[in-house]
Chain A
């Protein structure tokens, strides 16, 4: 009986990701160079973005002829019996490991480290991404050899597709008995996008044998030295009045608020934080850090003025040009999808006027009628640009707006909650500070977040000293896990924190 084994290759990919092209290349490479190639797949509905496996076996023709037999090649991989596993994405590499296809005695695992997020990860209301380091650790532990880098980026840089990069990495590992020239000739025979495919192939070929670069160590933080005297005063204040661990986040916060409004506003930010620092638990670095981070975010709330300003900046125009890969001889038009409603318009007005509009009769209805539909504003045209530009100019009156008053009231309440919690437990205060995360977005999203936030704050008041920090975290996660607030209601019930129900009763 012949001892020569077929070469067994499994390709894990998502529908439409080029796994089929790669399998075809491998078979063609083999058939052209004295091997028998068999491939098969189960496309089915997987071709519509689902995950799928292509399986390839190769056998030397000369061996079969010498032995006078026809090899019986398998149509599906046997766990523990695969030589090469190719995964077009990191979670798919994890799937190969989970299915037992990658074994330390023989499997070379070639995987791209980029992520194509799953629908569960994408639809989370907060951060639903899985931990890539866990996937990498499992892959590393399971494989005999693990070749991995961001192949999507490599494909992008070559103006090609990921299948060419995977093919190059496969060649680079040297696990198949074919030369680089034979691999490249296969791409040429295919005849589609040959030049860019070869470029991507070459880049990947070189990468496949180079050890993975070491993780970059974060540079030590050094205090900036702004020229402007007002800014310099702020930076000096941070250095003088706050502990060193908090410097990076405070500098970032000041930077954000100067950009949002002016140096005086950043001064208010530091005033507020100084009060937090002076709390009995204010020495807790985590509390100061989280409060500083969330306070900066809250104080730079997104009103229409802010949105208009961000949308009209030159840096933003440049970013869009880069993102759509604009070529020098092309022109770009940018159209914004905006839907200002009565609420947003009233909030941008001076507080008195805004309040009057919200409570008025026909003026309110008139505005409502005109804001029922969303608007498309072309920022790249003169008219559209000027509309937003003039709106952004209202920044100088921001402190008088209705929205400013409302946000300031909420911020002060939030700081009071933090102070109250800090008197019990700095950890609890840190969790309370992080509840700002719930308030985000615009219009309905913002209202929903705010509702959840207020429910949570009511629960914090209700719970008082018996509230564990982990409970606040659990409630916050529950608030972020569904849109209707069902999970939050259940979690509140579980902890006997039902402030609203009690009030109603």
Chain B
């Protein structure tokens, strides 16, 4: 379960983003949408502990991110939060298997075979990232986010670069995989194609300026 309570973020002294409270239980999904520039990605980064909120708190299974040391937060993110980006980022010099296995914590609880089989990418493990199509890359990104069996999966515009066919397939894979693993899934997107598949929805307002 992930909770975002009274979250706000300040880019500068004149710009303050204030976000609605949110709560996603294990196995549930939330879609955050809104116009470009309204702070969707910033909210996602706050939830992932990649940015520090101006005010408010993020709790994952009752553990507050802001109370963690920098080292503990890095470890917590690596083990308990899976993140998927709009662009599929990979280390180009290593193959898909090594990219999925990328972790400073060894191979504890990692389910590469199971996850890659479910996502239909078992045969791609020896390929290098530049040998994959966009759809394949995005499926590999999903696999990387799920391989640790995380409590929370955060996805930033995971389908915006995909055509309708790939969008539907990737969204379904992501949602089903997260549900199967009993992970809370938050998707940030303005992609209308996702709306029907998600449990909760939040629409962010434009930036509040002070």
Q: Determine if chain A interacts with chain B.
A: no
Q: Which residues of B contact A (CB under 8 A)?
A: none
